[in-house]
Amino acid sequence: MDKGDKKRLAVSFINDIRTMDAAVLNALIVREAGEDLAQFFLSYSAGLISRDPSRILENSSSLMLMGYLIRAHEERRRFAWNGAQA
């Protein structure tokens, strides 16, 4: 997938979650990430933002990118593991 496709998918996903009912979004978070990871990100972002509130834009962007990179890492590991099983 090229970078343009990744951006289109990201924009589409962000638009979808922005309009999602809070209960549906919470269920999605619990199903995909789990409570532990959700709490980890809440705690991590609260600490990050409280250290330097003037950098909230940069920190928010970094958190979004971190989430993306974690997901990409999971996908690579899953692919490598599935390839090893074949």
pLDDT(85) > 70: no
On whether the CB atoms of residues 49 and 56 are closer than 8 A, the answer is: yes
Residue 86 in this model has a pLDDT that exceeds 70:
no
DSSP category for residue 33: T
- Report the C-alpha gap between 65 and 75 in whole angstroms: 15
Reported as a pLDDT band with limits 50, 70 and 90, residue 22 is very high
Tokens 């590991």 belong to which residue?
A: 77
Domain-wise residue ranges, the chain: 3-85
pLDDT at 71: 86
How far apart are alpha carbons 65 and 41 in whole angstroms?
Answer: 13
pLDDT class for 81, splitting at 50, 70, 90?
Answer: confident
Give the residue carrying structure tokens 């074949």: 86
